[in-house]
Amino acid sequence: MCGIAGYIGPREAVTVVFDQITRLEYRGYDSAGVAFGTERGIAVLKKAGKLNNLGQLIENEKPAAHIAMAHSRWATHGGPTDENAHPHYDQSGRIAVIHNGIIENYYELGEALKSKGHEFRSQTDTEVAAHVIGEEYAESGQFVEAVRRAVRRLRGAFAMVVMCIDEPDKIVTVRNASPLVLGIGEGENFLASDIPALLPYTREVVIMDEGDLAVLTRNEIYLEDAEGKPKLPKKIHIDWDIEAAEKGGHEHFMIKEITEQPQSIRQCLAGRLLKDETVALPETFSINDWKRFDRVIILACGTAYHAGLLGKYVFESLLRMPVEVLYASEFRYNNPIVRANDLVIVISQSGETADTLAALRVAKEGGAKTLGIVNVVGSNIARECDAVLYTQAGPEISVASTKAYTAQAALLTLIALHMAQHRAADKEKYQRLIAELERLPDHIEACLKNNEAIVRIAEHIKDTPLIFFLGRGADAAVAMEGALKMKEIAYIPTQESPAGEMKHGPLALVTDGVVAVFGVTNPPTREKVISNIKEIKARGGTVVTVVLESDTVTPAESDYVIRIPHIDSHAIAAITSVVPLQLLAYHVARLRGCEIDQPRNLAKSVTVE
Ligand code: M6R
């Protein structure tokens, strides 16, 4: 999810690629670097922090090059430091690499290379990839072939750009699940991770397909597919304006981030959910610790708190282990009881939420082990936890959190599964849960296809004065999140609770014209939920339901139905069902003309208590 740029041609190459990554600044980054051809080889300039820092180095150096690549990094492996910034050299210093995404098997590859005498200067998976390419190059002496062979050894989702000292008129680039776009000029060619970086230079682009390898020279783009078969570059003309391009052609960052969820979940699971149906979280605690914990406390605010509620459902049903989910903003004021055998999980997208940070410090004082689930690498919460698992969801720009929530829920599920490997747990549930977690990206993809149907529902409910969000079990946890999305971006008052709670008070609010959105993704509680649906309808309310596609009963009781795939685990069905609720809030807000990415009174990172 970092920014990639590349150029070969008559212009001053470093100026071009630096400008290109500046145009990707909106995506968020924590360090940046460039590599460029010189008479002596390939020079690299890189620096942690803002692009200005790199700009200063470039200013001092005044490079005059006609081939260059640049990268803005959003850290995943290793903190945001000068050393970890890209580009990285191979062992011989003849190859330089920049890369987006994750190399899942970097650890094994790195260990094998170390045993052959390779030395690494950074903690990144990218440097390992550079060494693998370098090793292949040393063997074959052929630059392009070395990249081809190395890519076959790398596992993961990545986009990579490679330069070689001995072939100073070529840039080689490979796309493997992370986006890469080539830009075609006259006597010059470009590449970038995103279209906005190309638009000031060319509007003729080639979107690389999965597995494609491209070789860029000044006058030519050679392209081949994953099997190594040459193919003709399919040129398309882009006529979007730059602002639309930053949002990937979407109207808002929120919808862009909603649609990114299959990819962000894949990134979150990468290298953790293994082929043999086990979960590896080596960067956390010892097996003894995992066996020792006898209670889990989850601390978070807002959307992250709601992900914690889903986590509680997963932990308690799989492990029969007590879990408390507490508002971080309340924790230190409520005489918290923290013990040495507690595992305290702190969840935060930004890693900077002041209330969550304060709660973490109280938990540490109590002697518990603390585990962060954080999106922003190197943030305060990430640094202060005993261990941290990054959600790897990529930068989230919209104030309304969407892809961070599903990644947090997926990561909590991974933690529960990991714990289940070291203690008594229901085997059948484990199998079902892990199988459905693996399919979560596909389930979400299927939900995104319902977008048009959701637009039509949004048109019908957009002027309602009140929306209830209801469900039972894990659906009740998701109802909380569906409601938060609706109120924060569409400014419609909501009432969210477990469906069974309605008759204890909130039912008094149901009159003609109010809407109730029910999550009905758990067949064993379906009948009970249908009774709650009837209570709403009898009082003039309009009912929208989110159901499994195998459900033939609930649709008959509903005014509007949103179907999600049939999913055999209630926890995973519930996580999936948040996607239609995100879309519903988004479209209602859009139709009401709301300021979606920056809702009134709210900030992306809440650093005040
Ligand atoms: O960065 P954090 O995850 O710690 O932020 C917590 C909340 O402020 C955040 O989730 C907030 O509720 C979102 N705006 C919801 O969309």
Residue 373: give its domain's CATH number. Answer: 3.40.50.10490
Residue 336: strand, helix, or coil:
coil
Separation between Cα atoms, residue 72 and residue 50, nearest integer Å: 9
Which sign, positive or negative, has the C-alpha torsion 562, 542, 553, 440?
positive
Same domain, 434 and 445: no
Residue nearest to atom 10 of ligand 1 (CA): 303
Question: Domain containing 550: what range?
Answer: 441-609
Q: What is the pLDDT of residues 60-114, one digit of tens each?
A: 989 999 999 999 998 877 888 999 999 999 999 999 999 988 898 999 999 999 9
Q: What is the pLDDT of residues 210-250, one digit of tens each?
A: 899 999 999 999 999 999 999 999 888 876 667 666 787 89
Q: What is the pLDDT of residue 561?
A: 98
Q: Which of 438, 463, 485 is the last residue of a domain?
A: 438
* Least confident among 88-92, 178-182, 303-307: 178-182
* Mean model confidence pLDDT for the chain: 93
Same domain, 223 and 266: no
Closest by CA to 318, choosing from 419, 389, 405, is 419
Same domain, 346 and 483: no
Q: Which of 219, 245, 271 is the last residue of a domain?
A: 245
Closest by CA to 344, choosing from 360, 333, 321, is 360
Same domain, 415 and 502: no
Q: What share of the chain in percent tops pLDDT 70? A: 98
Q: How much distance in Å is there from the Cα of 19 to the middle of ligand 1?
A: 32
Same domain, 431 and 448: no
> Looking at the 3D structure of the chain, how many domains does it have?
3
What residues are paired with 177 via a beta bridge? Answer: 158
Confidence of residue 383 (pLDDT cuts 50, 70, 90): confident
Q: What tokens does 597 get?
A: 């990415």
Best-predicted range by mean pLDDT (25-29, 72-76, 143-147, 234-238)? 143-147
Q: How much distance in Å is there from the Cα of 400 to the middle of ligand 1?
A: 8
The closest-lying atom of ligand 1 relative to the alpha carbon of residue 400 is 16
Q: How much distance in Å is there from the Cα of 608 to the middle of ligand 1?
A: 13
Reported as type and span, the H/E element at residue 8 is: strand 3-8
Question: Is 2 a known active-site residue?
Answer: yes
Same domain, 200 and 345: no
Q: How much distance in Å is there from the Cα of 387 to the middle of ligand 1?
A: 21
Same domain, 430 and 447: no
Question: Is 385 a known active-site residue?
Answer: no
Q: Which of 245, 270, 293 is the last residue of a domain?
A: 245
Mean pLDDT over 314-339 rounds to 95
pLDDT at 600 over 90: no
Confidence of residue 380 (pLDDT cuts 50, 70, 90): confident
How many beta carbons lie within 10 A of that of residue 166, not counting itself?
Answer: 12
Separation between Cα atoms, residue 274 and residue 373, nearest integer Å: 20
Same domain, 81 and 132: yes
Separation between Cα atoms, residue 379 and residue 332, nearest integer Å: 21
Contact 467, 585 (CB under 8 A): no
Same domain, 232 and 266: no
Mean pLDDT over 338-357 rounds to 94
Same domain, 125 and 189: yes
Look at the block and give the residue holding tokens 């082990």: 369
Pocket test for ligand 1, best of 299, 349, 478 (most atoms within 8 A of CB): 349
Separation between Cα atoms, residue 413 and residue 321, nearest integer Å: 14
Which sign, positive or negative, has the C-alpha torsion 349, 351, 357, 363?
positive
Exactly one of 50, 462, 537, 604 is catalytic; which is it?
Answer: 604
Reported as type and span, the H/E element at residue 490 is: helix 474-490
Q: What is the pLDDT of residues 491-545, one digit of tens each?
A: 999 999 999 999 999 999 999 999 999 999 999 999 999 999 999 999 999 999 9
Closest by CA to 31, choosing from 15, 52, 43, 47, is 47
Contact 395, 27 (CB under 8 A): yes
Q: Look up the pTM and report it.
A: 0.75
Q: What tokens does 199 get?
A: 């638009």
Q: What is the pLDDT of residue 608?
A: 65
Pocket test for ligand 1, best of 350, 403, 484, 489 (most atoms within 8 A of CB): 350
pLDDT at 1 over 70: no
Pocket test for ligand 1, best of 606, 608, 609 (most atoms within 8 A of CB): 606
Same domain, 93 and 203: yes
What residue ranges line ligand 1, CB within 6 angstroms? 301-304, 348-350, 353, 356, 399-401, 484, 488, 602, 605-606
pLDDT at 409 over 90: yes
Mean pLDDT over 332-337 rounds to 93
Look at the block and give the residue holding tokens 């080689």: 172
Same domain, 68 and 136: yes
The closest-lying atom of ligand 1 relative to the alpha carbon of residue 349 is 3
